[in-house]
Structure 1
Amino acid sequence: MDPENELHEAPLVVIEVDAALVITGWNRRAERVFATAAAAAVGRPLAEVLPLAEGTWSSLTAGDDPPRVWSIRRPDGAWSLEAWSQALAGEAGRVRLYGHDVGARRAAEARTALESTMLRALEDNLEIVLWACDERGVFLYQGGKASELARVPPDYLVGKNIFELYKAQGNGELIARAIAGEPAHTRSAELYGLYWDTSYIPVRDDPSGARLVGVSLNISEAKLAELELRGRVELIERQQAVIRQLSTPILEVWDGVLTMPIVGLVDTARAAEIMDSLLQAVTRTRARFAILDLTGVEVVDTGTAGHLVEMIQAVALLGAQGILTGIHPTIAQTMVALGVDLSRVVVHAKLRDALKHCLRAARS
């Protein structure tokens, strides 16, 4: 085959220029890569057909250049051409340029560099530990700002086995499943004095041999805030229980006589609590009389009026007599409006009268 024809059909870009860097040869590969026909390129300055993003083509005049990447401007971006030159023997000033398009490679390199930069930014600024291990559970990588917070030296984990190192954590089975390909997640695990939220991410066909990537996020601040809030809620609930007990004390004023002075608003929920406390006290003390003193209550809802009567009836079922005292006029009106039957309920205006009633009944 004719050498010139071989160059024309070569898989590489082949461009020839004269001493003035005017194009004298332009093969088929150059046509495809630069989308420019040979007829449109030959006879024009190389810098005009292939304008460089930076630098000039003048170094080609020396010939025999080592490979380098040239960035060529184009309307929609740039070509990246890895090329080298060769001076043509016996033809003064003529140079042949060989090259191939490395745009995809350069784009992949740029993306890899960007991913590396983003990874470093995450490791350096977020309170995380990034780690990876192989199929045996041996750590291949450890990095991240949170390692310092946990007082774990850089690369301390590398070479160690996750199953042996964290056996006491009891999540070896979970990690084994993750290495086998099942993603997993643990929340609020305590380690090194901190709380961690960890994602276990299986990987496959990684040239490094990694089979599991882990992202451990330090959530200690949020966890401690949660524990503090939970403690406050529990404290408030205990305080409310004490307040409820104090607001409805049960006093054994005489042998077999219980008095429960009720203060404040009595709604349906509180009436149920009062009934429970009263019935337990009657059972515990074997009382014969239970006095509900409503002197400190001015308002009850419609359901509570019925509950008061039910309390008296429940006390009677335990063998004691229930007595109401200190009914406020508004409560009396509510009970009348509701048609509450008090015909079988002992009612006294004052606590003193109720106590006299109990003493008389006890002596009889």
Structure 2
Amino acid sequence: MREAPPPEPSVPSIRDELEELRDELRQKALPGERLIETHRRLAGESLERRRRADLLERIAECLPINIFAKDSEHRYLLANRNVSKLAERESSEVIGKTDFDLAPEPAARAIRASDERLLARGGMLLEELELESAAGVKRHLLVGKTLVQSEQTEERVLIGFSIDITESKRVERELRDKIALIEQQRAVIRALSTPIIEVWDRVLTVPMLGALDSARAGAVMEDLLADVSRRGARFAILDLTGVEAMDTGTAAHLLKLVQAIRLLGAEGIITGVPPGGAKAMVGLGLDLGGITTLASLREGLWYCMKRMRAGAVA
């Protein structure tokens, strides 16, 4: 009788042994292989850092602003192309230099004073500086800066940016000048539309024309009271003969004006009240007994002359 052949090893058991052997080899990896792995990892991190640094450099060069960094001795550690243009130097001539090496002394003093303000207060400093180049060209800069600590040296580093706002300042100045001119023209127009005339010694008259609204009545009140006080007027005649329209709000302004004139020691007289104005005044429901109203400017002038003569005789 033949003997039975021995059983063949099962496939799963061989695979298990191979896995165990592979794990054992991993645990007994040579130091050189570990160094290679570490080198690859560090190389990958270094490549990522270089990629980020290159991206930041491109951003700094492409943006239309000045970007810079200075050490504790105010020497430039970093300056983008725009800073070099502002200093009228090559980039290599900016690094390691101070503002006193790169700019005229008045501009350098202004920049240094700005840096000192940041060092004294800390935080973030945002301000405007006016600097003059060696050629005498004045530039306005909006400057922002702060302090950070270097990871390598633990030194405080001043980093910042500046934006040339010279053109916007010029536009702003022109706009202010135009607004001032408009205000002057408006004052002239207002004076021409409601002139205050001294028709007799200490007798003022204000002939009003066109539509009379509350805003215009308020302006007349301000100007007339100032003239009454300045000239020591005794009478002030408000002639409404040429007024086309007047509402109750305007009528209230005129009545207040007459009362204010009385407080200054003068007498306010209203002449030539149009029908619409009379209706507006009556609609206020006020007692008009103490206010002198006459039909025309001529009557108003005669009234003032008689009162002055009577006072002189007395």
Same fold (TM over 0.5): yes
Q: Does 1:240 align with 2:177?
A: no
Matched, 1:184 2:121: no
Q: What is the distance in 2 between the residues matched to 1:153 and 1:268? A: 65
Equivalent of 2:270 in 305, 314, 324: 324
- The RMSD of aligned alpha carbons is 3.1
After the TM superposition, which residues 1-364 of structure 1 pair with which residues of structure 2 at under 5 Å, given as runs? 8-13=28-33, 100=38, 102-103=40-41, 105-123=43-61, 125-145=62-82, 147-148=84-85, 151-162=88-99, 166-168=108-110, 170-177=113-120, 182-192=122-132, 193-207=138-152, 211-364=157-310
Cα distance, 1:149–1:297 mapped onto 2, change above 3 Å: farther
Task: Determine the C-alpha separation between the residues in 2 that align with 1:215 and 1:295.
Answer: 65
TM-score under structure 1 length normalisation? 0.65
Query: Distance in 1 between the 2:78 and 2:145 partners?
Result: 14
Tell me the secondary structure at the aligned position of residue 363 of structure 1. helix
* CA deviation vs aligned residue, 1:236-290 (integer Å, no higher than 9, x gap): 2232233223322210111221111223444444333322221221222222211
How many Å separate the matches in 2 of 1:240 and 1:152?
50
List alignment gaps of at least 5 residues for structure 2: 1-23, 133-137
TM-score norm. by structure 2 comes to 0.75
SS at match of 1:110: helix
1:149–1:242 distance in 2 versus 1, CA, 3 Å: farther
Counterparts of 1:352 and 1:282 in 2: how far apart (Å)? Answer: 20
Counterpart of 2:158, as a letter, is L
State the distance in 2 between where 1:9 and 1:154 align.
50
SS in 1 for 2:286: coil
Contact 1:300 1:331 in 2 (8 A): yes
Q: Which amino acid letter does the alignment assign opposite residue 120 of structure 2?
A: R
**Does 1 or 2 have the higher relative contact order (CA < 8 Å, sep 6+)?**
2
> What is the total number of aligned residue pairs between the two structures?
275
Please identify which structure carries the higher helix content. Answer: 2
Gaps of 5+ in 1: 14-28, 30-81, 83-97
2:135 aligns to what? none
What amino acid sits opposite 1:201 in the alignment? T
